Structure 1
Amino acid sequence: MTGHRAIIRTSTTVAVGTRPTATPGPGELSIATLYAGLCGTDIQMLRGLRDDPSPVIGHEGIARVVTAGAGVPDWCAPGTLVAVNPTHPTDPGFLLGHNVEGLLQERTLLPAAALAGGMVLPLPAATDVSLAPLLEPLAVVRYALTELRAFAPRTLLVVGDGTVGHLAVRAACRWLGEDVRVALVHHTPDGRAFSRAGPHHADLLLGAGELATARWDAPVTALVATPRDATVAALEAVLAVAGPGLAVDIVGGLPPGASTPSLPGLDLTALRAANCGGIPDPASITTTAQGVRLFGHRGVANGHLLDAAAELARDPEHYRDLITHDTDLAGAARVMRTLAGSRHRVIDGRRLVKLGVRVNDREQT
C-alpha cells in the first residue's frame, strides 16, 4: 500500500497530508480527481455546523479511472473520465465526502456500492474538466428548475447568492423560458455588488430587507438555496411576500425536525428528505393548507448530472466566471482554514463563490 496527498481535516485544523493508497478490491474503483470544488455543505462541515465523519471531504468534481477491481463493468477502463453522483438514493451508507472519503485527494477509493448503485458516470473525453466544480451544483439547479417548470412560473425568486443561487439565475432562461423574470435575494451588500458587476445577473437584485416591498408577476416559484442555519428564515420570508399559487423548492439544508409557525405541523426536514437522488420521479410535493406547493430534495439523479454536463459543454463561458478562485491542494487547504474560522467569504480580497481545486495536475495532460 502506497500513499497519496490529500486535504485532511481534523478537530483542530485542515492541512495537506498523506493518506494510504489502497488497491481496489472486487467491485471497487480507484480514481484520480482532476478538478474538484468546495461546496456550501463542505464549508458547514469546516465550521462545525455538521458532524459528518469523513476526514477527506469533497463531492464535486471530475476524475479519471486509475485502477479497477475484479468484476467492474468493462467501461471502467483506466483513463476513463468520470463524475460521481455523491448521493445514493437508497443507501445512506454512501454519501461521498460526508461518510465516505471524498475527492479532495489524489486518489479516491470508491466502494462497490457506488458502482453497483450506478453512481459512477462516464463522461465524454472532450469534457472541459476545469468546469468540474460547477457540474454537481448545476445538476441541483437542473433538478429544481425541472420540477418548478411544471407550475408555469412568470417569476422565479432565488433566495441565496451562493453557487446554486447564481447558477439558477443563469440557467433559468434555458430551463424555464425566456419570459420568466428572475429575482435574486442577497445576504449582504457585498454579495449584491458582486452580482451587479457580473455579466449575467438577475433581472432584479435584492437585499434581504427589500423582499417585503418587491412586487411579483404571478405565478411565483421560489428556490431557497441557503445554508442550513438560514433556510427556515429564508422560507418564512418568501411565504410572507408571495401571493397565491406559490411553489417553493427547498434546496438549502435544514436541521433535524425543522419547522415554522407559518406552516404549523409540517416537518420541513422530512419534507425535503422525501426526495432523494431523483427518487421519486416526479418529485413528492406537499400542498399546504395555505395553498403553497412545497417540496425539497437531497442530491440529484444521474440524468440531472448528464444534463448539467451537456449544458456546460454547450455554453461554458455563460458559467465559467462563477469559479472565482482556482488553486492547488495546498492553496485549497489555506482557503479552507480561512473559511473555517470566519463567517465571511472574502479570500485574497475577492468574494468567493466557487473554489476550483486542481488535485492531479499531472493527470490532466
Structure 2
Amino acid sequence: MNRAIVRAHGTVSVARLPIAAPGRGELSVATEYAGLCGTDIQMLRGLRDDPARVIGHEGVARVVAAGAGVPARLAPGTLVAINPTHPTDPDFLLGHNVDGLLQERTLVPATAVSCGLVLPLPETTDAAVAGPLLEPLAVVRYALAELGAFAPATLLVIGDGIVGHLAVRAAGRWLGPGMRVALAHHTGPGLAFSASRPYRADLLLDTVFEVKLDGPVAALIATPRDATVAALESALGVGAEVVDIVGGLPPGATTPLLPGVDLTAVRAANRGGLPDPVRVTTARLGTGRPVRLFGHRGVGNRHLLDAAAELARDPGRYRDLITHETDLDGAARVMRALARSRERTIDGRRLIKLSVRTAEDTR
C-alpha cells in the first residue's frame, strides 16, 4: 500500500492507497521531495475544481518500476523530474487531473513517458533543494527568457510568493547585472519577509504606485488567480510595456483597460513550452499606448533542465526560500491550516515554500 495525502470530504488526510503496477509504457516512481504550489493551495481552498484526489506537481522522484517499452534511460533507480504539463494532451496535468506527487508512489501514464516529460537528473542532484524549487524556477526561466527578448530596463515583479522571490534572485543571472528589479507586495508581513532575506530586489514596494520605474518596464505577474487582473491593471498603470501573466485567471477574464482582450485566452495560448517562441498579443490601452501581453501554462523541458543546472550551480542562492520542511503527516496538517485561512503564517513563520519528504531510500 501507498501512503498519500488524499483530498476527500472537504479536507485532506494521510491515507493508504493501492500501488498500481505500471503497464506498457508506464512508470512507477517514488517521490523523494515534493513542493506545495500556490495552485495547490487554491485547490485546497476550493478556488479550483481540479479533480485529482492526490495533488502535487512539483518534485523529484526515483523510478521504482518500468512497464514494457519504457526507454532504458528511465530504468529503475533513475532520479527524475516530471514535467507536469503535457503540451498537447490536456488529459495529463500532473496533480490536477492526474494523481500527483504528494504520495509515496505515483503512476506516470504512458502519454507523459512517450512525450519525454520524465527527465533523468544527475545523481549529484540535491533532491532536498530541487524537489520543491525546480518546477517554480523553471516557470521563472520561461518568463525571464521571453521578457528579456524585449530588453527592459526594469523588471517589475508583482507577487511575493515563491515565483516572485525566485524571479528576483534569478533576474541577474538570466537578464544581466544591469537589470533593476522591483518586487511589489500585497501585505506588510510579505514586505517584512523580503526585507529580511539575503538576496533582495533593488526596490521593495508595498504598492506598485509608490515609485516611478525606469523604462522600458517589463512586468511579471505572479499572483493567485483572484488577484491577477488587479495586478495586471497596476502594472499597466505604471507604464509596463510588456507583461507576462504567470498567475492564473478565471475563465474569460477581462479588464476595461484592454477592451476586447480575453486575458485567459492570452495566457492559454502558450502551454508546456509550445509554441516556441511564445505567442504574444499586442493590445492598446484607451490612451492608445500599445502593450504586449503573453502568458503561459506550464513549462518546456528545456526550462526544467535550465533550472536544474542553476540550482546545481548555486543552491545557496535559493535554499532559504524553503521555509518549511516536513513529512506527509506534517504536510497534511499544514495543508489543512492553509485551507482554513488566507494567512501564510505556519508555526510562527511566513510560508514561502513547503518541502515534503515522502519516500524511503529506494536505491
**TM-score (norm. length: structure 2):** 0.98
C-alpha distance after superposition, 1:292-342 (max 9, x if no partner): 011000000000000000000000000000000000000000000000000
Structure-2 residue corresponding to 1:80: 78
Match of 2:140, SS state, is helix
Residue 270 (1) aligns with residue 268 (2): no
Distance 2:237 2:72 in 1: 54
Distance 2:116 2:251 in 1: 28
For residues 1-365 of structure 1, the aligned pairs below 5 Å read: 3-131=1-129, 132-208=131-207, 211-242=208-239, 246-289=241-284, 290-363=289-362
Amino acid at match of 2:113: L
Distance 1:294 1:109 in 2: 36
- Residue identity over aligned pairs, in percent, reads 71
Distance 1:38 1:63 in 2: 15
Amino acid at match of 1:30: S
Amino acid at match of 1:332: A
Amino acid at match of 1:107: R
Between 1:30-39 and 1:71-80, the stretch displaced more is 71-80
Match of 1:310, SS state, is helix
Match of 1:221, SS state, is strand
Instruction: Report the CA distance between 1:213 and its aligned residue.
Output: 3.0
Distance 2:361 2:117 in 1: 25
Distance 1:70 1:280 in 2: 31
Instruction: Report the CA distance between 1:76 and its aligned residue.
Output: 1.3
Distance 1:297 1:12 in 2: 30
Distance 1:67 1:103 in 2: 16
- Number of aligned residue pairs: give it: 358
C-alpha distance after superposition, 1:99-125 (max 9, x if no partner): 000000000001111101111000001
Distance 1:260 1:315 in 2: 40
Distance 2:283 2:11 in 1: 44
Unaligned runs of 5+ in 2: none
Unaligned runs of 5+ in 1: none
Distance 2:97 2:105 in 1: 17
Match of 2:183, SS state, is strand
Amino acid at match of 2:229: V
Distance 1:328 1:213 in 2: 41
Question: What root-mean-square deviation, in Å, do the aligned CA atoms of Structure 1 and Structure 2 show?
Answer: 0.8
2:25–2:69 CA contact under 8 A, matched in 1: yes
Distance 1:288 1:323 in 2: 38
C-alpha distance after superposition, 1:266-298 (max 9, x if no partner): 000000000001101010011112310110000
Match of 2:361, SS state, is helix
Distance 2:114 2:253 in 1: 33
Distance 1:60 1:201 in 2: 25
Distance 1:76 1:293 in 2: 41
C-alpha distance after superposition, 1:177-220 (max 9, x if no partner): 10010000001000000000000010100113xx2231111111
Distance 1:319 1:269 in 2: 31
Match of 2:73, SS state, is coil
Instruction: Report the CA distance between 1:362 and its aligned residue.
Output: 3.3
2:155–2:220 CA contact under 8 A, matched in 1: yes
Amino acid at match of 1:207: D
Amino acid at match of 1:112: A
Distance 1:317 1:192 in 2: 22
